[in-house]
């Protein structure tokens, strides 16, 4: 049995060539493999926004993956922000383009 780890939230904006390259599907797969909750969406400015909740060590793994991105992506920057978890999400989904 693993010890309980406090849940927190990662909010990140990923910039660069990150739309039209399977970035959202990449984030969905990584989040699912880490059992994280939240969402990913494209933004009108060409960036991708991610909100994920879960244990901090798993969120750190997701953040490392965001810097890397899928094969076709050209990640030029990631702006991570740590916030308290809200617990409002069940599962991980793709949201409509926004902001």
CA 50 to chain centre: 4
Q: Is 45 left (phi over 0), alpha (psi -120 to 50) or beta?
A: alpha
Q: Do 12 and 63 touch, CB atoms closer than 8 A?
A: yes
76 is catalytic: no
Choice among 41, 42, 43, 76 that is catalytic: 42
Q: Which two tokens stand for residue 97?
A: 């383009």
24 is catalytic: yes
Choice among 9, 24, 56, 68 that is catalytic: 24
What is the set of active-site residues?
A: 24, 42
């Amino acid at each position: 049995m693993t010890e309980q780890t406090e849940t927190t939230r990662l909010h990140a904006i990923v910039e660069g060539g990150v739309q039209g390259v399977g970035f959202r599907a990449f984030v969905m797969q990584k989040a699912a493999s880490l059992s994280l909750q939240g969402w990913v969406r494209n933004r009108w400015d060409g960036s991708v926004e991610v909100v994920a909740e879960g244990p901090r060590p798993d969120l750190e793994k997701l953040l490392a993956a965001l810097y890397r991105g899928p094969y076709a992506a050209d990640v030029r920057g990631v702006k991570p922000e740590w916030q308290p978890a809200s617990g409002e999400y069940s599962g991980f989904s793709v949201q409509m383009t926004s902001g």
